[in-house]
Amino acid sequence: MVPLRIDPPRLQGGVVMATKADAIKAELESIATGAGGTLTPAAVVEAARRPGSSLHDQFDWNDSSAASAHRMNQARTLIRSVKVKFVVESRTISAPCYVRDVTVDPAEQGYVRLSQVLTDKQAARKTIIHELMVAEGVMGRARAVAAVLESEEEIDGLILSARAFRERIEAGGDTSIVS
């Protein structure tokens, strides 16, 4: 079986075997379906409370060492760990199964299946913008590390390219994104 990496490494030593990954994916899909397509960390934690749940052993249930907020972070990690394969113009792409639900208020939490976003051009555009903003933040962190190590020039170019791409999408100038 091919292992599925899940961070943080505390979750089953950081490795879940494919059969367990399939059970996790199925239960997450069931939770999302029961909630109208939106998957939230709170719903995942609630379902995982059942000892028979395939999600149960992915969480630390010892209340003296873990609080509810920590479980919410574990649920976010679990949701983001599920990958799905898409075939686009004869290429097979492994992509996140769930992405940020951009239709909910930014203060709310929620994830939707990436395949749902394919049918909504506005949600697709907003999803790409959100992902690019996340990437810019991660690259900003990488730039700070690179600056300390005196090698930030190339990262600056990556950040500027991602920002320019996001701004073109925001302005509606790159229609290939959602065509």
| Per-residue pLDDT at 31 | 95
Average pLDDT across the chain, whole number: 82
Whether pLDDT at 12 is above 60: no
Whether pLDDT at 15 is above 90: no
Mean pLDDT of 90-106: 88
- 24-55 per-position pLDDT tens digit: 999 999 999 999 999 999 999 999 999 999 99
CA distances from 95 to 9, 53, 70, 120, 125 (A): 21, 25, 25, 18, 17
- 100-136 per-position pLDDT tens digit: 999 888 888 899 999 999 888 899 999 999 999 999 9
| Per-residue pLDDT at 61 | 87
Mean pLDDT of 9-26: 65
- The domain spans of the chain are 4-96, 121-177
| Per-residue pLDDT at 11 | 43
Mean pLDDT of 1-18: 44
Burial class (CB in 10 A: 0-12, 13-18, 19+), 174: middle
| Per-residue pLDDT at 158 | 86
Residue with tokens 């679990």: 78
| Per-residue pLDDT at 87 | 79
